[in-house]
A and B are shown apart, each in its own frame.
Chain A
């Protein structure tokens, strides 16, 4: 794309509008005001209508939380089911054995593959290729988009087999699953998974060759780490600035603020400060735990241990797809059917806390329940609420560094910057229209 000259070389006020952000999950806009060349205001406006899940959960049965919270987000229902199950099991003092934990990890691999591939091929890559969407890319490179669709489908096939269906799986319950698969059913996926691993490596090579805008910042990355496996369901919450806590300490270290321009709450560190969750954070703090082929793919893509350019999140997402395919193959090959599909949870008067790694970052659930199993209150902090402040910070830097771009180009660059975070607005609302005003 060629740069168009700024029609007004010394603008006092610039207004750039993006009224409804495309290729993100949910509804939001961006308002930016630039006065005398300084960014006066950046508002990521989330107008996604609130649905009051935390209120609706009160009085429900503790066993209903995984199915009800799955309805918060159609792209990452498994994340909601995993955080809800683990929180309820924590409240019941229940820890599942390895075979059931491994099946949950395999289910999460399916969601990571499907969600990441959707974002890479259909939502984010078009920004790097100057296309409106994947359909436009498919006109010139049909085989490329077909590869993405098949890769996404293989992720969804894992969800369908283990979960019953891709969106709002039906087979997950507090304590395990309703029904566990046979070894033959899982083995039948191996050929596809091996194809997917190759396709994922090809995806890393494809996206690593994109042109990346310059933007680097010393973020506080926050994610899970257990020291043994690349994080999904387990581990302590850590950061590159010394945070090291367990899930039940989350509320002491993070708080949510309400701002007038958003129906999504903004999370920040207690004591102030934005932080960054998601693939970039996981890679920064857990790259040593990646599986061998994923490690090699990251290296061949030129990723250094800590990548601080958020546009390169697309490469890291692709590396995580390699990881998820490799991990899924391992989990299938070593599968031993659990002795029982679930363990019956025994509810007590207790509070349960859990954090798991949704594709776009940590998802915190806290429930207070009472015997015989009623939910008294619920708190849910999704990844996009946690990244909102960081997204606004990034946008300020992008606006300052790219004042020479035309309003259209600057608006698009802002959208691309937001999409770096794969924001999930339905989740965060409890998001985007872009208006940039230059004075």
Chain B
């Protein structure tokens, strides 16, 4: 074992594996990363079972069970620098839709014997449980941004990750606006950049994979969507996907639900 290399640990909580898989999908950079960092714990990739401590920790997934709420504390204590990756880890993920519903009912829809299932009523981001050093957004994360976060760490600098909106990114790329030209219900103006404004490039409206941007003007967009002809249910559902529990999306979906109910 090379003792001069920084040690990397990768952990998974409730998630689809896609964000940690992104590390293995850095096909051009993976072996270089493995030269620079000692991959000491990464269950998806190796049987190594290093007890730690770790210099850099990457955590995917959200906290949904009492055991996981304890496990994240132990992992934080083992990691000098903790980066959480993906919509589950940064906002609770799609499984946070449970936060707005009755958990017992959900469990019983899926499991014939719900009492075997040990679960929390909510799905929460890692930052609600421990201090995190950096949050990388996306469902899934962008692999170039992951490589940037890792190299920034290795070079002792701040990651260069933009915090603007998909809408601004889309303009920079020169895509035709799907909202103006196609009357599509686009979440680009309120969604955090990072995907490269993929959807508009494919003639599709943004559907919010990267969660809310900093200080989004939520009501302005929901009003515009309504003016465009979107139904109340469509607008509420559009905010309740992979980042449903991100505060800006959650609050607007609840307020909009309430406001439009009292008007109708």
Q: Write 20 A-B pairs (CB below 8 A) sorted by A numbering.
A: A20-B49, A26-B17, A48-B14, A49-B13, A51-B14, A51-B64, A51-B94, A55-B105, A55-B107, A71-B93, A71-B139, A73-B16, A74-B15, A133-B42, A152-B27, A167-B22, A168-B140, A170-B207, A178-B202, A258-B113
Stretch at the interface among B28-36, B152-160, B221-229: B28-36
| Chain A 54-90 per-residue mask, 1 if CB under 8 angstroms from chain B, else 0 | 1110101100100110011111010000000000000
Taking CB atoms and an 8 Å cut-off, the chain B residues in 94-124 that contact chain A are: 94-95, 97-98, 101, 105-107, 109-113, 116-117, 119, 123
Stretch at the interface among A94-102, A141-149, A348-356: A141-149
Contacts of B147 in A (CB 8 A): none
For the complex, what is the distance from the CA of A168 to the CA of B199, rounded to whole Å?
A: 12
The one of B21, B39, B68, B234 that contacts A74, using a Cβ cutoff of 8 Å: B21
Taking CB atoms and an 8 Å cut-off, the chain B residues in 188-226 that contact chain A are: 195, 198-199, 201-204, 207, 209
For the complex, what is the distance from the CA of A173 to the CA of B184, rounded to whole Å?
A: 15
Residue of A nearest to B178 (CB): A178
For the complex, what is the distance from the CA of A170 to the CA of B196, rounded to whole Å?
A: 12
Question: A171 in the interface, Cβ–Cβ < 8 Å?
Answer: yes
Residue of A nearest to B206 (CB): A170
Known: A52-B110, A167-B140, A426-B16. A64 touches B31 (CB 8 A): no
A233 → chain B, closest Cβ, in Å?
A: 21
| Chain A 364-405 per-residue mask, 1 if CB under 8 angstroms from chain B, else 0 | 000000000000010000000000000000000000000000
Question: A357 in the interface, Cβ–Cβ < 8 Å?
Answer: no
Question: A132 in the interface, Cβ–Cβ < 8 Å?
Answer: yes
A417 → chain B, closest Cβ, in Å?
A: 14
B45 touches A23 (CB 8 A): yes
Contacts of B116 in A (CB 8 A): 258, 260
| Chain A 410-427 per-residue mask, 1 if CB under 8 angstroms from chain B, else 0 | 001001000000000010
For the complex, what is the distance from the CA of A72 to the CA of B94, rounded to whole Å?
A: 10
B227 → chain A, closest Cβ, in Å?
A: 20
Taking CB atoms and an 8 Å cut-off, the chain A residues in 120-137 that contact chain B are: 122-123, 126, 132-136
B47 touches A133 (CB 8 A): yes
The one of B31, B68, B106, B198 that contacts A49, using a Cβ cutoff of 8 Å: B68
Taking CB atoms and an 8 Å cut-off, the chain A residues in 23-57 that contact chain B are: 23-27, 47-56
A209 → chain B, closest Cβ, in Å?
A: 22
Contacts of A73 in B (CB 8 A): 16-18
Contacts of A48 in B (CB 8 A): 14
Known: A49-B13, A49-B65, A54-B110. A167 touches B25 (CB 8 A): yes
Residue of A nearest to B120 (CB): A49
Question: A164 in the interface, Cβ–Cβ < 8 Å?
Answer: yes
B31 touches A50 (CB 8 A): no
For the complex, what is the distance from the CA of A170 to the CA of B93, rounded to whole Å?
A: 17
Residue of A nearest to B15 (CB): A426
Residue of A nearest to B111 (CB): A258
Question: A22 in the interface, Cβ–Cβ < 8 Å?
Answer: yes
Question: B24 in the interface, Cβ–Cβ < 8 Å?
Answer: yes
With A51-B14, A56-B94, A72-B16 already in contact, 13 other A-B pairs whose C-beta atoms are closer than 8 Å: A50-B110, A52-B95, A54-B110, A55-B110, A56-B98, A75-B21, A133-B48, A168-B209, A171-B202, A173-B204, A178-B199, A412-B47, A415-B47
Instruction: Give the one of B43, B64, B242 with max A CB within 10 A.
Output: B43
A168 touches B204 (CB 8 A): no
A77 touches B13 (CB 8 A): no
For the complex, what is the distance from the CA of A134 to the CA of B45, rounded to whole Å?
A: 7
Contacts of A49 in B (CB 8 A): 13-14, 64-65, 68, 119
A179 touches B27 (CB 8 A): no
A74 touches B105 (CB 8 A): no
A54 → chain B, closest Cβ, in Å?
A: 5
Nearest 9 pairs of A and B residues by beta carbon: A74-B18, A133-B46, A55-B109, A153-B27, A55-B106, A51-B95, A149-B27, A167-B140, A49-B14
Contacts of B70 in A (CB 8 A): none
Contacts of B43 in A (CB 8 A): 20-23, 27
Question: A118 in the interface, Cβ–Cβ < 8 Å?
Answer: yes
Contacts of B74 in A (CB 8 A): none
Taking CB atoms and an 8 Å cut-off, the chain B residues in 219-246 that contact chain A are: 234, 237, 241-242
Contacts of A74 in B (CB 8 A): 15-21, 140
Contacts of A27 in B (CB 8 A): 12, 43
| Chain A 174-207 per-residue mask, 1 if CB under 8 angstroms from chain B, else 0 | 0000110000000000000000000000000000
Contacts of B119 in A (CB 8 A): 49-50
Contacts of A56 in B (CB 8 A): 94-95, 97-98, 101, 106
For the complex, what is the distance from the CA of A276 to the CA of B123, rounded to whole Å?
A: 34
Known: A20-B43, A52-B106, A71-B242. A77 touches B18 (CB 8 A): yes
Question: B251 in the interface, Cβ–Cβ < 8 Å?
Answer: no
Known: A49-B13, A178-B203. A118 touches B24 (CB 8 A): yes
Contacts of A53 in B (CB 8 A): 110
Contacts of B139 in A (CB 8 A): 71, 168
Question: B44 in the interface, Cβ–Cβ < 8 Å?
Answer: yes
For the complex, what is the distance from the CA of A353 to the CA of B194, rounded to whole Å?
A: 36
Contacts of B16 in A (CB 8 A): 71-74, 77, 426
Contacts of A55 in B (CB 8 A): 101, 105-107, 109-110
The one of A22, A138, A265 that contacts B31, using a Cβ cutoff of 8 Å: A138
